[in-house]
Protein backbone atom coordinates (compact mmCIF):
# COMPACT_ATOMS: atom_id res chain seq x y z
CA UNK A 1 0.00 0.00 0.00
CA UNK A 2 2.77 2.45 1.01
CA UNK A 3 4.85 1.54 -2.04
CA UNK A 4 1.80 2.18 -4.21
CA UNK A 5 1.35 5.62 -2.66
CA UNK A 6 5.05 6.37 -3.12
CA UNK A 7 4.81 5.52 -6.80
CA UNK A 8 1.96 7.94 -7.53
CA UNK A 9 4.03 11.17 -7.68
CA UNK A 10 6.39 9.40 -10.09
CA UNK A 11 3.47 8.32 -12.30
CA UNK A 12 2.23 11.92 -12.25
CA UNK A 13 5.67 13.23 -13.17
CA UNK A 14 6.04 10.74 -16.04
CA UNK A 15 2.60 11.74 -17.32
CA UNK A 16 3.55 15.42 -17.18
CA UNK A 17 6.83 14.85 -19.03
CA UNK A 18 5.06 12.75 -21.65
CA UNK A 19 2.59 15.56 -22.28
CA UNK A 20 5.13 18.39 -22.32
CA UNK A 21 7.33 16.54 -24.82
CA UNK A 22 4.92 17.80 -27.49
CA UNK A 23 4.45 21.41 -26.40
CA UNK A 24 3.54 22.76 -29.82
CA UNK A 25 0.87 20.15 -30.28
CA UNK A 26 -0.58 21.22 -26.95
CA UNK A 27 -0.44 24.91 -27.71
CA UNK A 28 -2.15 24.36 -31.06
CA UNK A 29 -4.85 22.32 -29.35
CA UNK A 30 -5.41 25.08 -26.80
CA UNK A 31 -5.59 27.74 -29.52
CA UNK A 32 -8.06 25.76 -31.59
CA UNK A 33 -10.25 25.08 -28.57
CA UNK A 34 -11.03 28.81 -28.42
CA UNK A 35 -12.53 28.73 -31.92
CA UNK A 36 -15.97 27.39 -30.89
CA UNK A 37 -16.27 30.36 -28.48
CA UNK A 38 -15.64 32.76 -31.35
CA UNK A 39 -18.20 30.99 -33.55
CA UNK A 40 -20.73 30.99 -30.69
CA UNK A 41 -20.25 34.73 -30.24
CA UNK A 42 -20.93 35.46 -33.92
CA UNK A 43 -23.89 33.09 -34.12
CA UNK A 44 -25.65 34.12 -30.91
CA UNK A 45 -25.28 37.85 -31.47
CA UNK A 46 -27.20 37.27 -34.73
CA UNK A 47 -29.89 35.37 -32.78
CA UNK A 48 -30.14 38.19 -30.22
CA UNK A 49 -30.53 40.88 -32.88
CA UNK A 50 -34.30 40.42 -32.77
CA UNK A 51 -34.74 39.30 -29.15
CA UNK A 52 -33.60 40.49 -25.74
CA UNK A 53 -33.66 37.03 -24.16
CA UNK A 54 -33.56 33.44 -25.38
CA UNK A 55 -34.98 31.13 -22.74
CA UNK A 56 -33.61 32.49 -19.47
CA UNK A 57 -30.48 33.86 -21.14
CA UNK A 58 -29.38 37.31 -22.24
CA UNK A 59 -26.52 37.55 -24.76
CA UNK A 60 -23.87 38.31 -22.06
CA UNK A 61 -25.27 35.48 -19.90
CA UNK A 62 -25.13 32.98 -22.74
CA UNK A 63 -21.62 33.97 -23.80
CA UNK A 64 -20.48 33.73 -20.18
CA UNK A 65 -21.79 30.14 -20.26
CA UNK A 66 -19.68 29.34 -23.38
CA UNK A 67 -16.61 31.09 -21.92
CA UNK A 68 -16.84 29.19 -18.62
CA UNK A 69 -17.44 25.99 -20.59
CA UNK A 70 -14.01 26.53 -22.15
CA UNK A 71 -12.45 26.38 -18.66
CA UNK A 72 -14.53 23.35 -17.64
CA UNK A 73 -13.44 21.53 -20.77
CA UNK A 74 -9.76 22.32 -20.28
CA UNK A 75 -9.84 21.14 -16.65
CA UNK A 76 -11.99 18.03 -16.88
CA UNK A 77 -12.00 16.53 -20.41
CA UNK A 78 -9.62 13.65 -21.12
CA UNK A 79 -7.40 14.35 -24.13
CA UNK A 80 -6.44 11.05 -25.75
CA UNK A 81 -6.52 8.86 -22.64
CA UNK A 82 -9.13 6.63 -24.32
CA UNK A 83 -6.91 5.94 -27.32
CA UNK A 84 -3.85 5.43 -25.09
CA UNK A 85 -5.64 2.81 -22.96
CA UNK A 86 -6.98 1.10 -26.06
CA UNK A 87 -3.47 0.97 -27.56
CA UNK A 88 -1.98 -0.40 -24.32
CA UNK A 89 -4.47 -3.29 -24.37
CA UNK A 90 -4.38 -3.97 -28.12
CA UNK A 91 -0.61 -3.85 -28.55
CA UNK A 92 0.23 -5.80 -25.39
CA UNK A 93 1.81 -2.79 -23.68
CA UNK A 94 -0.23 -3.74 -20.64
CA UNK A 95 2.23 -6.51 -19.73
CA UNK A 96 4.83 -4.41 -17.84
CA UNK A 97 2.05 -2.43 -16.12
CA UNK A 98 0.39 -5.63 -14.86
CA UNK A 99 3.63 -6.68 -13.19
CA UNK A 100 3.75 -3.53 -11.07
CA UNK A 101 2.11 -3.40 -7.61
CA UNK A 102 -0.09 -0.55 -8.77
CA UNK A 103 -3.81 -0.81 -9.66
CA UNK A 104 -4.28 0.05 -13.34
CA UNK A 105 -7.20 2.44 -12.68
CA UNK A 106 -5.15 4.51 -10.21
CA UNK A 107 -2.17 4.48 -12.58
CA UNK A 108 -4.37 5.85 -15.38
CA UNK A 109 -6.04 8.37 -13.08
CA UNK A 110 -2.69 9.96 -12.22
CA UNK A 111 -1.71 10.09 -15.88
CA UNK A 112 -5.10 11.75 -16.53
CA UNK A 113 -4.40 14.30 -13.77
CA UNK A 114 -0.96 15.05 -15.24
CA UNK A 115 -2.50 15.51 -18.68
CA UNK A 116 -5.11 17.91 -17.32
CA UNK A 117 -2.48 19.95 -15.46
CA UNK A 118 -0.29 20.20 -18.56
CA UNK A 119 -3.22 21.11 -20.78
CA UNK A 120 -4.64 23.68 -18.40
CA UNK A 121 -1.21 25.33 -18.18
CA UNK A 122 -0.93 25.44 -21.98
CA UNK A 123 -4.52 26.63 -22.40
CA UNK A 124 -4.37 29.25 -19.65
CA UNK A 125 -2.93 32.11 -21.70
CA UNK A 126 -5.13 31.57 -24.81
CA UNK A 127 -8.19 31.33 -22.54
CA UNK A 128 -7.30 34.58 -20.72
CA UNK A 129 -6.76 36.35 -24.07
CA UNK A 130 -10.12 34.98 -25.27
CA UNK A 131 -11.88 36.23 -22.15
CA UNK A 132 -10.23 39.63 -22.49
CA UNK A 133 -11.17 40.04 -26.17
CA UNK A 134 -14.70 38.77 -25.66
CA UNK A 135 -15.30 40.97 -22.61
CA UNK A 136 -14.38 44.00 -24.69
CA UNK A 137 -17.18 43.16 -27.11
CA UNK A 138 -19.76 41.81 -24.65
CA UNK A 139 -19.94 42.53 -20.89
CA UNK A 140 -19.41 38.97 -19.60
CA UNK A 141 -21.13 38.22 -16.30
CA UNK A 142 -17.99 37.00 -14.57
CA UNK A 143 -18.90 38.81 -11.34
CA UNK A 144 -21.58 36.16 -10.68
CA UNK A 145 -19.11 33.25 -10.75
CA UNK A 146 -19.76 30.88 -7.84
CA UNK A 147 -16.55 29.01 -6.98
CA UNK A 148 -18.04 27.45 -3.85
CA UNK A 149 -20.55 25.48 -5.94
CA UNK A 150 -18.49 25.37 -9.10
CA UNK A 151 -15.32 23.70 -7.83
CA UNK A 152 -16.95 20.52 -6.40
CA UNK A 153 -18.97 20.22 -9.63
CA UNK A 154 -15.78 20.64 -11.65
CA UNK A 155 -14.08 17.93 -9.63
CA UNK A 156 -17.11 15.67 -10.10
CA UNK A 157 -17.04 16.35 -13.84
CA UNK A 158 -13.37 15.32 -14.08
CA UNK A 159 -14.05 12.13 -12.11
CA UNK A 160 -17.13 11.32 -14.20
CA UNK A 161 -15.35 11.92 -17.49
CA UNK A 162 -12.39 9.82 -16.40
CA UNK A 163 -14.58 6.92 -15.25
CA UNK A 164 -16.67 6.99 -18.44
CA UNK A 165 -13.51 7.09 -20.55
CA UNK A 166 -12.10 4.15 -18.61
CA UNK A 167 -15.27 2.08 -19.20
CA UNK A 168 -15.24 2.78 -22.92
CA UNK A 169 -11.52 2.18 -23.38
CA UNK A 170 -11.54 -1.12 -21.54
CA UNK A 171 -13.87 -2.58 -24.19
CA UNK A 172 -10.64 -2.87 -26.21
CA UNK A 173 -10.24 -6.30 -24.57
CA UNK A 174 -12.99 -7.45 -26.95
CA UNK A 175 -12.86 -5.07 -29.94
CA UNK A 176 -9.96 -4.40 -32.29
CA UNK A 177 -10.89 -0.76 -32.96
CA UNK A 178 -13.06 1.25 -30.61
CA UNK A 179 -12.62 4.68 -32.25
CA UNK A 180 -16.16 4.57 -33.71
CA UNK A 181 -17.59 3.90 -30.26
CA UNK A 182 -15.53 6.72 -28.77
CA UNK A 183 -16.67 9.24 -31.39
CA UNK A 184 -20.28 8.13 -31.00
CA UNK A 185 -20.10 8.86 -27.26
CA UNK A 186 -18.37 12.18 -28.02
CA UNK A 187 -21.37 13.22 -30.08
CA UNK A 188 -23.74 12.27 -27.25
CA UNK A 189 -21.57 14.20 -24.79
CA UNK A 190 -21.68 17.26 -27.04
CA UNK A 191 -25.45 17.16 -27.54
CA UNK A 192 -26.77 15.88 -24.22
CA UNK A 193 -23.87 17.31 -22.21
CA UNK A 194 -24.60 20.96 -22.87
CA UNK A 195 -21.51 21.51 -24.99
CA UNK A 196 -23.35 22.84 -28.05
CA UNK A 197 -25.97 24.82 -26.12
CA UNK A 198 -27.00 25.12 -22.44
CA UNK A 199 -29.38 22.25 -21.71
CA UNK A 200 -31.98 24.58 -20.15
CA UNK A 201 -32.69 25.90 -23.66
CA UNK A 202 -34.24 22.51 -24.47
CA UNK A 203 -38.03 22.15 -24.31
CA UNK A 204 -38.95 21.38 -20.67
CA UNK A 205 -39.81 17.63 -21.02
CA UNK A 206 -36.59 16.90 -22.95
CA UNK A 207 -34.57 18.91 -20.43
CA UNK A 208 -36.08 16.83 -17.60
CA UNK A 209 -34.87 13.62 -19.31
CA UNK A 210 -31.44 15.09 -20.15
CA UNK A 211 -30.87 15.95 -16.47
CA UNK A 212 -31.14 12.29 -15.55
CA UNK A 213 -28.40 11.22 -17.98
CA UNK A 214 -24.71 11.23 -17.04
CA UNK A 215 -23.74 13.50 -19.96
CA UNK A 216 -25.43 16.54 -18.38
CA UNK A 217 -22.98 16.31 -15.49
CA UNK A 218 -19.91 16.40 -17.72
CA UNK A 219 -20.33 19.95 -19.06
CA UNK A 220 -23.70 21.61 -18.38
CA UNK A 221 -23.85 21.03 -14.63
CA UNK A 222 -20.31 22.22 -13.73
CA UNK A 223 -20.64 25.19 -16.09
CA UNK A 224 -24.04 26.22 -14.71
CA UNK A 225 -22.71 25.73 -11.15
CA UNK A 226 -19.74 28.00 -11.86
CA UNK A 227 -21.95 30.58 -13.58
CA UNK A 228 -24.16 30.62 -10.46
CA UNK A 229 -27.39 29.97 -12.37
CA UNK A 230 -28.53 26.95 -10.31
CA UNK A 231 -30.68 27.08 -7.20
CA UNK A 232 -29.28 25.51 -4.01
CA UNK A 233 -31.65 22.51 -4.29
CA UNK A 234 -30.85 21.95 -7.97
CA UNK A 235 -27.12 22.12 -7.24
CA UNK A 236 -27.31 19.63 -4.34
CA UNK A 237 -29.43 17.18 -6.34
CA UNK A 238 -27.10 17.59 -9.34
CA UNK A 239 -23.99 16.96 -7.27
CA UNK A 240 -25.50 13.75 -5.85
CA UNK A 241 -26.39 12.53 -9.35
CA UNK A 242 -22.98 13.52 -10.71
CA UNK A 243 -20.97 11.64 -8.07
CA UNK A 244 -23.49 8.79 -8.25
CA UNK A 245 -22.89 8.38 -11.99
CA UNK A 246 -19.11 8.66 -11.49
CA UNK A 247 -19.19 5.95 -8.84
CA UNK A 248 -21.40 3.73 -11.00
CA UNK A 249 -18.98 4.01 -13.92
CA UNK A 250 -15.99 3.30 -11.66
CA UNK A 251 -17.66 0.13 -10.39
CA UNK A 252 -18.57 -0.84 -13.94
CA UNK A 253 -14.97 -0.20 -15.07
CA UNK A 254 -13.77 -2.51 -12.28
CA UNK A 255 -15.99 -5.35 -13.54
CA UNK A 256 -15.02 -4.75 -17.18
CA UNK A 257 -11.35 -4.82 -16.14
CA UNK A 258 -11.79 -8.10 -14.26
CA UNK A 259 -13.61 -9.71 -17.18
CA UNK A 260 -11.13 -8.27 -19.69
CA UNK A 261 -8.10 -9.62 -17.83
CA UNK A 262 -9.54 -13.13 -18.07
CA UNK A 263 -9.61 -12.69 -21.85
CA UNK A 264 -6.27 -10.88 -22.18
CA UNK A 265 -3.32 -12.85 -23.49
CA UNK A 266 0.10 -11.49 -22.61
CA UNK A 267 2.60 -12.26 -25.34
CA UNK A 268 6.24 -11.25 -25.43
CA UNK A 269 8.09 -9.15 -22.86
Partner 1 sequence: MHPFSLFRLWLVQIRYALTRELAFRANFFAWVIVELSWFVLQLAFVGVVYHHVDRIAGWSRHEMIVLVSTNQLIQQIFTAFLMPGLTKLPELVRTGKLDFVLLKPVPPQFLVSTAQLEIGPLANAGIATLVTGMGLHALGIVPTFASLVAYLLLLFTGLLVHYALLLFLVSLTFWIVQAESVLLGYYSIFQVARLPREAAFGWFRVIFTFALPLLLVANIPAATLIRGMEPGPMALFLLTSLFATLFASLFFHQGLRRYQSASS
Q: Enumerate binding residues for partner 1 (CB under 8 A).
A: 22, 24-26, 28-29, 31-33, 35-36, 38-39, 42-43, 45-47, 49-51, 54-55, 80, 177, 180-181, 183-184, 187-188, 190-191, 196-197, 201-203
For the bound state, the minimum distance from the C-beta of residue 214 to partner 1, rounded and expressed in Å, comes to 17
Nearer to partner 1, 54 or 248 (CB): 54
Nearer to partner 1, 48 or 162 (CB): 48
How far is 206 from 196, CA to CA, in rounded Å? 15
For the bound state, the minimum distance from the C-beta of residue 259 to partner 1, rounded and expressed in Å, comes to 21
For the bound state, the minimum distance from the C-beta of residue 157 to partner 1, rounded and expressed in Å, comes to 20
Nearer to partner 1, 47 or 247 (CB): 47
For the bound state, the minimum distance from the C-beta of residue 171 to partner 1, rounded and expressed in Å, comes to 13
For the bound state, the minimum distance from the C-beta of residue 193 to partner 1, rounded and expressed in Å, comes to 11
Nearer to partner 1, 129 or 184 (CB): 184
Amino acid sequence: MISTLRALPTVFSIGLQRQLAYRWNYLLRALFSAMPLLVSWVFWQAVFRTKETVGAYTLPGLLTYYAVLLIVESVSSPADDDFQISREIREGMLNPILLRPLPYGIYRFFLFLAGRCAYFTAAFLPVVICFFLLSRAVPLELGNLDLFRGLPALLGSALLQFSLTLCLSLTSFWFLDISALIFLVYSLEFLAGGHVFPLDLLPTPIFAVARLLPFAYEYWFPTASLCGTLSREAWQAGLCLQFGWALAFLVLAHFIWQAGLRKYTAAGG
